[in-house]
Amino acid sequence: MKIERILVPTDFSPCADHALEYALLLREKLGAKLTLMHVWEVPQGIGIESMPFIAMQGGDRVSLMDYVRAEAEKSLAELVDKLAKRGIEVGSKLVPGYAPLMILEAQKDYDLIVIGTHGRGAIAHFLLGSVAERVVRKAKTPVLTIRDEKKS
């Protein structure tokens, strides 16, 4: 099996950055193309008809959904730009939805998924769940999980 396309889901955390560095090493060794993917979630429990607004500087108002999307776009663009300054070209995808599901839907276009895992304890894992675990359990594409080095 040849690895030509690598998907790196990111939530912009230090853990995700650590996984990205591993993916960059793989990209360099294998000559693969790398795509960063961020899944932004619509705030739960909020119907479109009752979407709250956020007051911005200058008196403008923006919906919470538009604000979350715009912040995700900005963070992803900053990460891509930071890599470009290092001479590293990567693709990027910004997708709305539930992170594990959207990553699993995207897997068909990639040969490998490299994803960070926070390495939470059992109680936190039970309460919060794990995107990485859900992806590993259901993915048909190979998944490389990189544990947060500070939790090791």
pLDDT score at 82: 97
Give 54-106 pLDDT, tens digit per residue: 555 666 767 777 888 889 999 999 999 999 999 999 999 999 999 999 999 99
* Homologous superfamily in CATH for domain 5-151: HUPs (3.40.50.620)
C-alpha 142 chain-centroid distance: 17
Give the mean model confidence (pLDDT) for residues 124-140.
74
Distance CA 92, CA 45 (A): 28
33, 27 contact by CB (below 8 A): yes
Exposed / middle / buried, residue 61 (Cβ in 10 Å: 0-12, 13-18, 19+): exposed
pLDDT of residue 24: 97
Per-residue pLDDT at 152 exceeds 50: no
Q: What is the pLDDT of residue 43?
A: 62
